Structure 1
Amino acid sequence: MGTFKTTPITVLENVSKQDFVKNYYRPQKPVLIKGMTKNWPAYKKWTLDYIQEKAGDQVVPLYNNEPAKDKQSVYEPVQEMKLAAYIEILKTKPTDLRIFFYEILKKMPDLAQDFEYPDIGLKFFKKLPALFFGGGESKVFMHYDIDLPDSMHFHFDGHKHVTLFSPDQTKYLYRVPYSIHNLESIDMDNPDFEAYPALQYAEGITAHMEHGDALFMPSGYWHYIKYLDGGFSMTLRALPRKPKKFMQMLYNVMIMRHFDNFTRKHWGQKWLDYKDELAIKKTHKNLANLL
Structure 2
Amino acid sequence: MSGAEPLRQPDACPWAAARRLLPGTREAFARGWEGAAAAERAVSSLLGQAAELLYRSPESCVGPARAVRLLQLGDGLCDYTWEKLNTGPWRAVGRGWRQAYAYGCLLRALGLCAGGGESEGAEEKAARAALRACDLGLLLGAPVLDNVLGRMADVLREHLPRPRAAAAEEPAQKKTRQDAPLVPAVKTEAAIPRLRCPSLEHFRDNYLSPQRPLILEGVVDHWPCMRKWSVDYLHQVAGSRTVPVELGCRYTDEEWTQSLMTVDDFIRQYIKNEFQTQTGYLAQHQLFDQIPELKEDIGIPDYCCLGKEDEDDIAINAWFGPAGTISPLHQDPQQNFLVQVMGQKYIRLYSPEQSEKLYPYEGHILHNTSQVDVEDPDLVKFPKFKATAFQACVLSPGQVLFIPASYWHYVRAMNTSFSVSFWWS
- TM-score w.r.t. the length of structure 2 is 0.50
Q: Is the 8 A contact 1:48 1:91 kept in 2?
A: no
Q: CA RMSD, aligned part only?
A: 2.5
| 1:171 Cα deviation after fit | 1.2
| 1:45 Cα deviation after fit | 1.4
Q: Tell me whether 1:132 sits opposite 2:342 in the alignment.
A: no
> What's the secondary structure of 1:114's corresponding residue?
coil
1:110 alignment partner in structure 2: 293
Cα distance in structure 2, aligned partners of 1:236 and 1:219: 12
- Higher Cα Rg: structure 1 or 2? 2
| 1:102 Cα deviation after fit | 3.9
Give the counterpart letter for 2:404 in structure 1.
P
Give the counterpart letter for 2:336 in structure 1.
S
Counterpart pick for 1:144 among 331, 340, 349: 331
- Give the total of aligned pairs: 229
Q: How does 1:1-291 map to 2 (within 5 A)?
A: 7-63=190-246, 64-65=248-249, 67=251, 76-77=257-258, 79-88=259-268, 89-91=270-272, 93=274, 96-120=279-303, 121-123=305-307, 125-127=311-313, 128-145=315-332, 148-177=333-362, 178=364, 179-183=367-371, 186-239=372-425
Q: Percent identity?
A: 24
1:258 alignment partner in structure 2: none
Q: Is the 8 A contact 1:42 1:115 kept in 2?
A: yes
Q: Is the 8 A contact 2:289 2:295 kept in 1?
A: no
More relative contact order, 1 or 2 (CA 8 Å, 6+ apart): 1
Cα distance in structure 2, aligned partners of 1:134 and 1:69: 17
1:283 alignment partner in structure 2: none
Unaligned runs of 5+ in 2: 1-183
| 1:30 Cα deviation after fit | 0.5
| 1:69 Cα deviation after fit | 7.4
Could you tell which deviates more after superposition, 61-70 or 9-18? 61-70
Give the counterpart letter for 2:376 in structure 1.
N
Check 1:91–1:31 CA distance in 2 against 1; reply closer, same or farther (3 A cut). farther
| 1:98 Cα deviation after fit | 0.7
| 1:114 Cα deviation after fit | 1.8
Q: Is the 8 A contact 2:237 2:293 kept in 1?
A: no
> What's the secondary structure of 1:98's corresponding residue?
strand
Q: Deviations over 1:108-137 (max 9, x none)?
A: 122222222222243355353110112112
Cα distance in structure 2, aligned partners of 1:139 and 1:171: 22
Check 1:159–1:59 CA distance in 2 against 1; reply closer, same or farther (3 A cut). same
Give the counterpart letter for 1:140 in structure 2.
S
Check 1:60–1:105 CA distance in 2 against 1; reply closer, same or farther (3 A cut). closer
Cα distance in structure 2, aligned partners of 1:174 and 1:68: 14
| 1:35 Cα deviation after fit | 1.1
Cα distance in structure 2, aligned partners of 1:108 and 1:35: 26
Unaligned runs of 5+ in 1: 240-291
Q: Is the 8 A contact 2:345 2:413 kept in 1?
A: yes
Give the counterpart letter for 2:264 in structure 1.
A
| 1:80 Cα deviation after fit | 3.4
Q: Is the 8 A contact 1:53 1:84 kept in 2?
A: no
Cα distance in structure 1, aligned partners of 2:341 and 2:298: 12
Check 1:113–1:69 CA distance in 2 against 1; reply closer, same or farther (3 A cut). closer
> What's the secondary structure of 1:126's corresponding residue?
helix
| 1:214 Cα deviation after fit | 0.5
Give the counterpart letter for 1:193 in structure 2.
L
> What's the secondary structure of 2:206's corresponding residue?
helix
> What's the secondary structure of 2:398's corresponding residue?
coil
